[in-house]
């Protein structure tokens, strides 16, 4: 892809992500619930209750508590243990920690109520035999954070984690990739179709102008959030 500019070879290491959390350099974290999830939640839930919902590269996303409070079971994965500890602390949620026997060095932090389970490890170490399958996914800041060279690997894994008749809400970002090296990375619609197209029905639900001062500092003149719903069949 010439349309992704020089981004295709860009690599951000796990160490760099850990440092972002350590230094509090987490402009990607939103203190409020994401308006696109609030607006389109019914598309994700599709009239169903008690779903298992996955948050890939979850950070300390506030929506995890919101969905758990609705009666859903939330599972997240994140390399930064600090991010997960901050999530539980900021919501005053007691939790316990246990090792994940199948993954060397991994931990699971689980709310004592049992409805939020957050894995501290690389997402690529997960599999459906460890975390099960999901009825819904909220992917905001995950696909766009994955190194472009790992995108196929990421999507292949995500597809194996989808239950029949599940829904996957995906937020990507659109801007001129020749002007900013990422992350977040630009993922064009054509690539969403080539990555997921054989496995589900894809529909673009909304594009939102999300341009702010930070994007101006990056040298950009526009920045959009693009929301897709991916529907997996029976």
Please tell me whether 53 is known to bind a ligand.
no
Please tell me whether 17 is known to bind a ligand.
yes
Please tell me whether 27 is known to bind a ligand.
yes
Please tell me whether 16 is known to bind a ligand.
no
Please tell me whether 25 is known to bind a ligand.
yes
Rounded distance between C-alpha atoms, residue 110 and residue 234, angstroms? 30
Please tell me whether 218 is known to bind a ligand.
no
Please tell me whether 23 is known to bind a ligand.
yes
Please tell me whether 140 is known to bind a ligand.
yes
CA 132 to chain centre: 17
Sign of the CA dihedral with 216 first, then 178, 10, and 203 last? positive
Please tell me whether 185 is known to bind a ligand.
no
Please tell me whether 216 is known to bind a ligand.
no
Please tell me whether 20 is known to bind a ligand.
yes
Burial profile 24-58: b = 16 or more Cβ within 10 angstroms, e = fewer: eebeeeeeeebebbeebbebbbeeeeebbbbbbbb
101's tokens: 């026997």
Please tell me whether 21 is known to bind a ligand.
yes
Please tell me whether 78 is known to bind a ligand.
yes
Radius of gyration of the chain (CA): 17
Detail the residues annotated as belonging to a binding site.
17-28, 57, 78, 122-123, 140
Detail the residues annotated as belonging to a binding site for S-adenosyl-L-methionine.
17-28, 57, 78, 122-123, 140
């Amino acid at each position: 892809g010439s349309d992704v500019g020089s981004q295709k070879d860009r690599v951000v290491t796990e160490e760099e992500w850990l440092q972002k959390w350590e230094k509090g350099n987490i402009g990607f974290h939103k203190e409020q619930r994401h308006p696109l999830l609030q607006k389109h939640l019914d598309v994700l839930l599709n009239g169903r209750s008690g779903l298992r919902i996955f948050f890939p590269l979850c950070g300390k996303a506030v929506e995890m508590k919101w969905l758990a409070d609705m009666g859903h079971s939330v599972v997240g994965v994140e390399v930064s243990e600090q991010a997960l500890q901050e999530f539980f602390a900021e919501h005053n949620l007691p939790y316990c920690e246990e090792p994940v026997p199948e993954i060397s060095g991994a931990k699971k932090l689980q709310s004592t109520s049992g409805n939020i389970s957050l894995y501290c490890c690389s997402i690529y170490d997960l599999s459906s035999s460890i975390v099960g399958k999901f009825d819904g996914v909220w992917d905001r800041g995950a696909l766009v954070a994955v190194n472009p060279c790992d995108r196929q690997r990421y999507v292949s894994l995500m597809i194996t984690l989808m239950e029949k008749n599940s829904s996957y809400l995906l937020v990507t970002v659109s801007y001129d990739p020749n002007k900013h090296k990422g992350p977040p990375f630009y993922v064009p619609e054509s690539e969403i179709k080539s990555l997921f197209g054989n496995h589900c029905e894809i529909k673009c639900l909304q594009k939102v102008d999300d341009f702010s001062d930070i994007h101006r500092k990056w040298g950009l003149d526009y920045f959009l959030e693009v929301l897709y719903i991916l529907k997996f069949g029976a």
